[in-house]
Chains A and B, each alone.
Chain A
Amino acid sequence: MSAIYTLGIDVGSTASKCIILKDGEEIVAKSLIDVGAGTSGPQRAIDTVLANADMTREEMDFVLATGYGRNSLMGLADKQMSELSCHARGASFLFPEVHTVIDIGGQDVKVLHIENGTMTNFQMNDKCAAGTGRFLDVMARVLEVKVEDLGRLGAMSQKTVGISSTCTVFAESEVISQLSMGTDKCDIINGIHRSVASRVTGLVHRIGMVPEVVMTGGVAQNTGVVKALEAELDCPIHTSPLTQYNGALGAALFAWQAACRKSR
């Protein structure tokens, strides 16, 4: 029996990610382009992942799109699904014992409750950038640091600085005010991480936290936010080197299921 190849595409608000799976188990190739919905990112991510796998679209048995820009790929994908379902699936693949997934993406936050590998409940943030990746982008710009350096810089903090978790605009004003008072940038960054953690914790408690807890999405790469969340939740949080690909991984897994059904 020949192998089944499936492609999962996650078109987020700030990045486009792809994964090709072989037989629903083996990651053959992956790609990530740092621009998302409404840009050339999705097509470039697809071209890259196919090139990395040395395969063509026609060799894919099923293609499933997810993420904020999933509907824009309906000419190319066989099906689209919400990123919540895909994140649940991806996290369950990486961490079979997971019950709670915290996904902080570019413009929203999702908390998923998982039972036996399936999402049974979820919460999303209100229409507000506070606590999202966008919040960290804005703060990094004000602080004149790279967003990928926030985790490392925050770890050097010597004291706690309180930053509001209510509103990105107000928090930005607070950061500017702290900078003008000469507060150390590392302390401010630590405060920002705690602010994100505080916001997300409220969402987690709305749904009820059940260990094991997994964090996915781009912000999971920020060790400062992960540590702040662990402290707020008083619970260890698992992350994976594939954290940014988790939605695409879930999409590729659902695609594999669909391909198996199709081939029966």
Chain B
Amino acid sequence: MSINVMLDEFKEIAANPKKQLEHYKGQGKKAIGVLPYYAPEELVYAAGMVPFGMWGSNKKTISRAKEYCATFYCTIAQLALEMLLDGTMDGLDGIITPTICDTLRPMSQNFRVSMGEKMPVIFLAHPQNRFDENGLAFTVAQYTNVRKKLGKIAGAEITDEAIKNAIKVYNRSRAARREFVKLANDHCDVVTPTKRSAVLKAAWFMSKDEYTEKLEALNAELAKLPVCDWQGTKVVTSGIICDNPKLLAAFEENNIAIAADDVAHESRAFRTDASETEADPMMALAKQFADLDYDVLLYDPQSAKNRRGEFVANMVRESGAQGLVLFMQQFCDPEEMEYPYLKKALDDMGIPHIKLGIDQQMRDFGQAYTAIQAFADVLEMNK
């Protein structure tokens, strides 16, 4: 199968989550909606169900969700609820609501109240002090609760063996996505920003074994190509989500490729594997969460050192990018609060960047387009 055909398949899946949900339901499978961030999807997979990522929508307008949400809730969370209320996600058999940010915490109760008897809503509170014995025990306790509730929806208890197998499936999937990100940089003439986004986005709407098989096939074909001699510029993207096709098309029109990303919806979601040798698979998942690092949303005991800012700035240097584009989600307090530190690290290393204010209800991209075009000019001058 040609690379373009494979890329088109991912594009089709990424653009049609409802169709994908119907596909799995047609196979008699149960599906669980998974809200951001860091839900242990492995437990859903181990229960024989399909995890379904819920990161809002670029096509919908917030209407019914306004009944439940404050206006300053981010559009990702509001549009996830909208899709549960307007019937788009009626096929789901339940949802998991992690609560790692200040919007998602109260929002979890909006989901619970609004769903009522429609579907089970599984509450998940990750600890910020996640490293020591107590933090790990807390994570295990939370995950155990999620496991029990998922087992109830699946109609069977989730075994340790099934979780161990799920960890292997997910590690393999994460490795394939990390490999794809590198290949996309080497072959940015073929894997354009829009196509790169679609490949990574499709992962949220596919059973991971199926997705990984497809992605490994794509990676194998990409690896056969000679590394492209890119004449344009390259950037690292950062933020919660940057999947808007119109914004990504602006990158392409201005010859900007994406060398790597620090995006929650993309690489931040598959940077860290879980141990396959840990005797207790629940502890393996808890330790995986503890091992997550350089993240806007997670507590860093050494935060005064600006490790995260330097990590991202180094990513720009090491990936061969000339600058960074930050997609600042409107009303995202963690990203806004972290921005000055990221800016300092980038400025200290002489890395140009732009901050684009976005939300998922944006329909006019004039200002963002101007900023991207001007940034391309700046990067070109700096080359």
CB-based contact B381/A124 at 8 Å = no
* Residue B277 interfacial (CB < 8 Å): no
Whether A68 pairs with B366 at a CB distance below 8 angstroms is yes
Which B345-383 residues have a C-beta within 8 angstroms of A?
A: 352, 354, 357, 366-367, 370-371, 373-375, 377-378, 381-382
Interface size class of A (residues with CB under 8 A): 10 to 19
Residues of A within 8 A of B367 (CB): 108, 124, 127
- Known contacts A68-B366, A120-B381; A126/B357 CB under 8 A: yes
B161 CB to nearest chain A CB (Å): 51
Verify B370–A119 contact, CB threshold 8 A: no
Q: Considering only CB atoms, which chain B residue lies closest to A83 in the complex? A: B370
- A81 engages B377 (CB within 8 Å): yes
For B377, list chain A residues within 8 Å (CB). Answer: 81-82, 84-85, 119
Per-residue 0/1 for A63-97: is the Cβ within 8 Å of any B Cβ (1 yes, 0 no)? 00000100000000000011111000000000000
Residues of B within 8 A of A82 (CB): 370, 373-374, 377
Which residues of B have CB within 8 Å of A127? 357, 367
Residues of B within 8 Å of A124, CB to CB, are 354, 367, 370-371
Tell me the smallest distance from the CB of B361 to a CB of chain A, in Å.
Answer: 12
Chain A residue numbers with a CB within 8 Å of B352 are 120-121
| Most-contacted residue by chain B among A83, A118, A124 (CB, 10 A) | A124
Q: Say yes or no: A84 contacts B357, CB within 8 Å.
A: no
Given contacts A121-B352, A127-B367, contact A84 B374 (CB under 8 A): yes
A73 to B71 alpha-carbon distance, docked (Å): 38
Assembled-state Cα–Cα distance A120/B375 (Å): 9
Q: Are B357 and A119 in contact (CB under 8 A)?
A: no
B339 to chain A, nearest CB (A): 11
**A121 and B378 in contact (CB under 8 A), knowing A126-B357, A127-B357?**
yes
What per-residue 1/0 map shows which CB atoms of A100-125 lie under 8 Å from chain B?
A: 00000000100000000011111010
Q: Quick check: A120 and B370 within 8 Å, CB to CB?
A: no
Interface residues of B in 117-142 (CB under 8 A from A): none
CA distance A119 to B381 in the complex (A): 8
Within 8 Å CB of B375, what residues of A?
A: 122
Distance, CA A127 to CA B367, complexed state (A): 8
Q: How many residues on chain B are close to A (CB under 8 Å)?
A: 14
Q: Mark A180-204, 1 if CB is under 8 A from B, else 0.
A: 0000000000000000000000000
With known contacts A108-B367, A127-B367, A120–B373 Cβ distance under 8 A? no
Knowing A68-B366, A108-B367, A124-B367, say if A119 contacts B374 (CB, 8 Å): yes
- Cβ contacts under 8 Å, A119 to chain B: 374, 377-378, 381
Closest Cβ–Cβ distance, residue B346 to chain A (whole Å): 11
Decide: B366 and A85 in contact? CB cutoff 8 A. Answer: no
Closest A-chain residue to B359, C-beta based?
Answer: A127
- A122 and B373 CA atoms in complex are apart in Å by 12
Cβ contacts under 8 Å, A122 to chain B? 354, 371, 374-375, 378
**Min CB distance, A112 to chain B, in Å?**
9
What is the distance, in angstroms, from B121's C-beta to the closest C-beta of chain A? 33
Residue of A at shortest CB range from B381? A118
Closest B residue by C-beta to A68 = B366
Q: How far is B381's CA from A218's CA once the two chains are assembled, in angstroms?
A: 28
* In the complex, chain A residues whose CB is within 8 Å of the CB of B381: 118-120
Contact A68 B382 (CB under 8 A): no
CA distance A126 to B371 in the complex (A): 11
Q: Which residue, A82, A119, A122, has most C-beta atoms of chain B within 10 A? A: A82
**A122, B356: Cα distance in complex, Å:** 12
CB–CB B357/A85 < 8 A: no
B378 touches A68 (CB 8 A): no
- Determine whether the beta carbon of B357 is less than 8 Å from that of A120: no
Taking A68-B366, A126-B357, A127-B357 as contacts, is the C-beta distance between A120 and B382 under 8 angstroms?
Answer: yes
Cα separation A122 to B374 with both chains bound (whole Å): 8
Q: How far is the CA of A118 from the CA of B354 in the complex (A)?
A: 17
How far is A59 from B123 in the complex, measured between Cα atoms in Å?
A: 70
> Do A81 and B378 touch across chains, with their CB atoms under 8 A apart?
no
Which A residues lie within 8 Å of B371 (CB)? 84, 122, 124
Contact with A along B43-60 (1 / 0, CB 8 A): 000000000000000000
Partner of B378, one of A83, A108, A120, A126: A120
Cβ A84 vs Cβ B382 within 8 A: no
Q: How far is the CB of B351 from chain A (nearest CB, A)?
A: 11
Measured between alpha carbons, how far is A82 from B367 in the docked complex, in Å?
10
> Distance (Å) between the CB of A231 and the closest chain B CB?
26
Kindly state the separation between the CA atoms of A175 and B357 in the bound complex, as whole angstroms.
Answer: 28
Q: Which residue of B lies closest to A85 (CB)?
A: B377
Q: How far is the CA of A131 from the CA of B351 in the complex (A)?
A: 28
Residues of B with C-beta under 8 A to A68: 366, 370
Q: Which residue of B354, B357, B370 has the most chain A CB atoms within 10 A of its CB atom? A: B370
Distance from B348 Cβ to chain A, minimum over Cβ atoms (Å): 13
| Contact residues, A248-262 vs B (CB, 8 A) | none
Nearest-Cβ distance from residue B250 to partner chain A, whole angstroms: 11
How distant is the Cα of A118 from the Cα of B15 in the complex, in angstroms? Answer: 40
For this complex, 21 residue pairs linking A to B, each with C-beta atoms less than 8 Å apart, are: A68-B370, A81-B373, A81-B377, A82-B370, A82-B373, A82-B377, A83-B370, A84-B371, A84-B377, A85-B377, A118-B381, A119-B374, A119-B377, A120-B352, A120-B378, A120-B381, A120-B382, A121-B352, A122-B354, A122-B371, A124-B371
The 3 closest A-B pairs by CB, nearest first: A84-B374, A82-B373, A82-B374
Contacts beyond the supplied A82-B374, A118-B381: 19 A-B pairs with Cβ under 8 Å: A81-B377, A82-B373, A83-B370, A84-B370, A84-B371, A84-B377, A85-B377, A119-B374, A119-B378, A120-B352, A120-B381, A121-B352, A121-B378, A122-B354, A122-B371, A122-B374, A124-B370, A124-B371, A126-B357
